[in-house]
Structure 1
Amino acid sequence: MVGLILTFAIAHSGLAALRPWAEDKIGPRPYRIGFALVSLSLALGMIGYFLAHRYDGVQLWQVQQIPWIMPLVWLLSAISFLFLYPATFNLLEIAAIQKPQVHLYETGIIRITRHPQLWGQVIWCLAHTLWLGTSFTLLTSLGLIAHHIFGAWHGDLRWEKRYGEAFRAVKARTSLIPFLAIAQGRQQFVIKEFIRPAYLGVGLFIGLLWWAHPLIYRAGTAIHW
């Protein structure tokens, strides 16, 4: 599992670092398609392996029989997706239908934290590690969180190189730690920025995922790794 996470991290962060060079050589759309194909292929393999081996290793704790644990896990999972997927709001750019661009902004969830995907991953890992309680899941979670911590540092580095003083100004008004910039008065929380159709889409996705969870688990365990 460590090998799979490391392979994904090198490919994902490496291709992200190559974005300016690659877009100049082959254009934004071919780069986006290549990036998506590589990242999704490696991610699907990693997810499938996780599903097949999630109960491997030592059972560190067992709390699934506690009545309030399942609702808590689902609540944390739902919150994690609200942090994980704000970057997918520009679906036409992700699919390379529109020209993919890098957007420098500090609205919506960026007011809460400059790196929402990091905290979405942390919350997701906490929920699933709590539920499964195995050493394999704990190791997987630590690896995923480590990759996202590196990604946050690497992302800031790339943004500063690309935007210079404009990014440093955004960085000064936002925070890595959720709600820290708001608490310090460097940022404000604007609730109307969260009232948008994209969040309805995230909500529908969460509902679909809840419905499809048994199917996903069966599909994952059907593969013999």
Structure 2
Amino acid sequence: MTSLVAAAAFFLLIHLGVSGTRLRDAVVGRIGQNAYMGLFSLASVAGLVWLGFAYAGARGEVWNTAHWGINAATRHIQLLTQLLAMLLIVPGLATANPTSVQQEGALDRPDVVQGMLRITRHPFLWGVAIWALGHLLVNGDRASIVLFGTLLVLAVTGTSSIDAKRKRALGESYEAFMAQTSNVPFAAVLNGRQSLKLAEIGVWRIALGVAVWAILMLAHPMLFGVAALG
């Protein structure tokens, strides 16, 4: 348990306590953007690997009791949440987005707000949040609560952290982008600032998201040792 909690704390610390904060700005000012990105990427990968191994080791420990389990209803809900997550994650990654790493230049495009960005300016992170929430629904053991809870908190709070970082770096151009879009999915559509145009997302992006979801569901026993399909 100690290793898992430490890994979760480390992963949260480097993202919420460094990335997106003024500490990051100070470090970049001292060592440069490229050096910072290299070190942060190494720390992130190391933290994610540590978190994964610590979780695998913690699942069989005595302290890892379950507070809730899976049933027929939650299994079906989980399948739908994972599909929704992939429909945000995959098309989101395949869409030019000023919130993504090294894609700030997308702000120069007059048509930058289209497709997935009409839904949310953070499609990937909201997809991860839904993915984590779905896994929490069917995994009530303490190790899973720590793992998926950490990723859920990081994904949701990361959206605001990225916005703050981009506002400091890009100023008015990013503020104008924020005014046209929403953090929370569909909020800009519901309040009339945007309209939902599925054709802009592209059939191929949607199809790819469904395909990734199907592959993960079928390969889940081989990849993670647990069947996703009943």
State TM-score, norm by structure 2. Answer: 0.72
Q: Does 1:42 align with 2:47?
A: yes
Amino acid in structure 1 at the alignment position of 2:199: K
How far is the alpha carbon of 1:168 from its aligned partner?
1.4
Matched, 1:195 2:198: no
Question: Distance in 2 between the 1:125 and 1:184 partners?
Answer: 27
CA distance in 2, matches of 1:36, 1:57: 31
Tell whether 2:188 aligns with 1:181. yes
In structure 1, the residue corresponding to 2:46 is in which secondary structure? helix
- 1:4 to 2:7 alignment: yes
CA distance in 2, matches of 1:24, 1:107: 36
AA at the equivalent of 2:115: G
Query: Is residue 69 of structure 2 the alignment partner of residue 53 of structure 1?
Result: no
Structure 1, unmatched stretches of 5+, are: 92-98, 220-225
Instruction: State the Cα RMSD in Å.
Output: 3.4
Aligned partners of 1:111 and 1:23: how far apart in 2?
Answer: 34
Q: Give the equivalent residue in structure 1 for 2:214.
A: 207
Alignment match, 1:169: 176
After the TM superposition, list the runs of 4 or more consecutive aligned residues in structure 1 that deviate by more than 6 angstroms.
Answer: none
CA distance in 1, matches of 2:116, 2:42: 27
Q: Would the alpha carbon gap of residues 112 and 45 (structure 1) be closer, same or farther in structure 2, given more than 3 Å must change?
A: same
Q: Determine which of 106, 119, 132 is the counterpart of 1:112.
A: 119
What is the CA–CA distance in structure 1 between the aligned matches of 2:208 and 2:181, rounded to whole Å?
A: 26
Judge conservation of contact 1:8–1:42 (CA < 8 Å) in 2: yes
Other-structure match for 1:75 = 80
Q: Give the direction of change, closer, same or farther, for the CA distance of 1:189–1:15 in structure 2 (3 Å limit).
A: same
Q: Distance in 2 between matches of 1:203 and 1:147?
A: 25
State the alpha-carbon separation in 2 of the partners of residues 5 and 216 from structure 1.
22
The residue type equivalent to 2:80 in the other structure is: L
Residues 80/20 of structure 1: CA separation in 2 closer, same or farther (3 Å cut): farther
TM-score, normalised to structure 1's length?
Answer: 0.74
Distance 1:206 1:171 in 2: 30
Residue identity in the other structure for 2:122: H
2:193 counterpart SS class: coil
Q: In 2, are the aligned partners of 1:54 and 1:132 still within 8 Å (CA)?
A: no
Note if contact 1:118-1:145 (Cα within 8 Å) is conserved in structure 2.
no
Identity of aligned pairs, percent?
24
Quick one: structure 1 residues 44 and 197, their matched pair in 2 at CA, closer, same or farther if it must change by over 3 Å?
Answer: farther
1:135-150 to 2 correspondences below 5 Å: 135-150=142-157
Aligned residues: 209
List alignment gaps of at least 5 residues for structure 2: none
Preserved CA contact (<8 Å) 1:51 1:217: no
Partner of 1:153: 160
Per-residue CA deviation, residues 109-135 of structure 1 (Å, 9 max, x unaligned), is 221123223422331122111112223
Deviation at residue 156 of structure 1 after TM alignment: 0.9
Q: Deviations over 1:24-77 (max 9, x none)?
A: 96675x76555444323322332333344357633222333x2x4333212211
Distance 1:87 1:182, change over 3 A: closer
- Whether contact under 8 Å (1:32, 1:100) holds in the other structure is no
Tell me the distance in 1 between the aligned counterparts of 2:40 and 2:219: 27
In the alignment, is residue 128 of structure 1 matched against residue 131 of structure 2? no
Look up the match of 2:89.
Answer: 84
